Structure 1
């Protein structure tokens, strides 16, 4: 599902990934699956199919950071954690 005119898209800014992998997993030497980029802050977190789900945790802990983009090669998608839908 996609949310047309998602109001959270207003939080999207030009960002640079802050790490080459999931920031929390790198700090704890944990594995991750796919990576997601917070489009407000530049935080790199692991996706929901990863054991720790750090991208979701970041979105929940930091109000105002609901939109994340895939960092997987060949993927061009954005996810709104607030709406649980593609943005």
Structure 2
């Protein structure tokens, strides 16, 4: 029999029952329990956010490419105007 300190009833079970959920997050660890208490998955909202991010990134990339092409064309004309006469002579 276990020794009882300070008049208590003795040791009790230290296990905690976690609610069943995702088996990956229900490992019995504190981290798994905290992750299981998070927000529920909502794939529809995630998909619309992902689509919006892809559209914004594609637009930004197209704008950067257009600006780069414009700079190359203008710089090419400027360099041709500056150096073109020296090469022709």
TM-score tier (shorter): under 0.3
TM-score (norm 2): 0.16
Which one scores higher on RCO, CA 8 angstroms, separation ≥ 6? 1
Q: Which structure's residues are more often strand, by fraction?
A: 1
Structure 1 or 2, whichever has the larger Rg, is 2
